[in-house]
Structure 1
Amino acid sequence: MLQQSTAHLVRGAALAGSLALLPLATGCGGGEDATAEKSTPTPTAVTAAPAAGVVAPAKVEVIAGLTGCTAKIRIEADELRQGVCHTEEADYTITTFPEERLKDTWLESAGVYGGKYLVGSRWVVSAQPKLLERLRTELGGTIQQLG
């Protein structure tokens, strides 16, 4: 019961934070200003993939489509969405996040388990290492070793 209450508090806090920042994000124009010059770049470098033709963040369904599969959504939450792709080559998961900081938190937690992940702007693909390089050419992002 305590874990469930804690999870609800975390979700509520994440939702409240998201809603508080929404007017700021939607109110910003494309022009540059003094605050833009002071912002720190995100530590994750994202490379555009020629096959993708888009730079994520994107929805689970869009990323899955770029890899040639139709994802089955298995987690639908405020903090993330996760879908599973089943292909002849391998199974893999695609996780998207509404904010970069939620992705960073997820990666910190996944670091306990180790492994390699394909990481983009507000998305992560979990797959066997041999598949990650092919997916990187289709999606962009960087392959990160955790743990």
Structure 2
Amino acid sequence: MAGVVAPAKVEVIADLTGCKVKIRTDADELREGVCHTKRGDYLITTFPEEKYKLTWLDSAAVYGGKYLVGTRWVVSAKPNLLEQLRPQLGGKIKELQGVGPAPGPSAS
């Protein structure tokens, strides 16, 4: 069911995933809500315009990790949880490369 695309509203995305969201940030350029569920915790971030999402993703790239990304929204969670949420929300799972020093060979 890849045709699903969640609208860019924190509460709607939370409802689609069966969570009662707690709004953490309510600013002009983004809204952010936290979900605590049996499946795991995740963060829903929505943006009034696509350009704000792109800026946010650029900033998040420093940390690396995987995100579920839709039109004007991003869900941050553990990769296995993102896979579970994707059929409900649509979007694409994007892997952002961290910008820090590459981990060297371990000394074990």
User: Given residue 32 of structure 2, which amino acid in structure 1 is its aligned partner?
Assistant: Q
Mapped partners of 1:135, 1:122: distance in 2: 17
User: Given residue 81 of structure 2, which amino acid in structure 1 is its aligned partner?
Assistant: L
Structure index of larger Rg = 1
> Structure 2 unaligned runs (5+)?
98-108
Q: Which of 95, 115, 123 pairs up with 2:65?
A: 115
In structure 1, the residue matched to 2:51 is 101
The answer to whether the aligner puts 1:128 opposite 2:78 as a matched pair is: yes
Shift of 1:70: 1.0
| TM-score, length of structure 2 as denominator length | 0.85
1:1-147 superposed matches below 5 A? 47-49=2-4, 55-147=5-97
| TM-score, length of structure 1 as denominator length | 0.63
Mapped partners of 1:139, 1:57: distance in 2: 9
The secondary structure found in structure 1 opposite 2:29 is coil
What do the CA deviations read for 1:51-97 (whole angstroms, capped 9, x no partner)?
xxxx3333100000000001100000000000000011210000000
* Aligned length in residues: 96
Mapped partners of 1:48, 1:70: distance in 2: 24
RMSD between aligned alpha carbons? 0.9
Q: Which has the higher strand share?
A: 2
The secondary structure found in structure 1 opposite 2:20 is coil
Q: Which has the higher helix share?
A: 1
